[in-house]
């Protein structure tokens, strides 16, 4: 049985991919920032013995480590879907007035976190 980790799996594309993989018999590790939404979404991903839902922020190195440990615990991954992302503040401010903490969060989640998961 193949194993996959899908980040940002509580809604949208991540949820749809996890549903399809679960329907095809894949064992899943799924993640999202909102634990309640993730648990609700995970009910549609297949049997509970095949799905491990870990709420957290992929921008957090500790959470990425937890995801990597879960993947090792199931024998490794056949597929990693780096779907989690953030768009930052809405509406978008001009770059000159973009809050640096928000920009750092966007870069951490959209760029550093996917590479961190690959390296983990």
Structure tokens at 89: 């503040």
Domain boundaries, the chain: 3-119
Q: 60, 115 in Cβ contact below 8 A? A: no
The two tokens of residue 61 are 């190195």
> How much is the pLDDT for 89?
87
Q: From first to last of its 120 residues, what are the pLDDT tens digits of the chain? A: 899 999 999 999 999 999 999 999 999 999 999 999 999 999 999 876 799 999 999 999 999 999 999 999 999 999 999 999 998 888 989 999 999 999 999 999 999 999 999 998
Return the CATH superfamily for domain 3-119: NAD(P)-binding Rossmann-like Domain (3.40.50.720)
**What pLDDT is attached to residue 48?**
63
């Amino acid at each position: 049985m193949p194993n996959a980790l899908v980040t940002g799996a509580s809604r949208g594309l991540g949820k749809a991919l996890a549903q399809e993989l679960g329907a095809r018999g894949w064992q899943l590790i799924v993640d999202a920032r909102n634990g309640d939404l993730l648990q609700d979404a995970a009910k549609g991903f297949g049997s509970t013995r095949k799905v491990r839902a870990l709420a957290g922020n992929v921008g957090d190195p500790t959470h990425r480590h937890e995801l990597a440990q879960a993947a090792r615990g199931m024998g490794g991954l056949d597929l990693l879907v780096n779907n989690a992302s953030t768009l930052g503040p809405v509406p978008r401010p001009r770059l000159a007035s973009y809050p640096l903490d928000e920009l750092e969060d966007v870069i951490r989640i959209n760029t550093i976190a996917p590479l961190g998961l690959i390296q983990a």
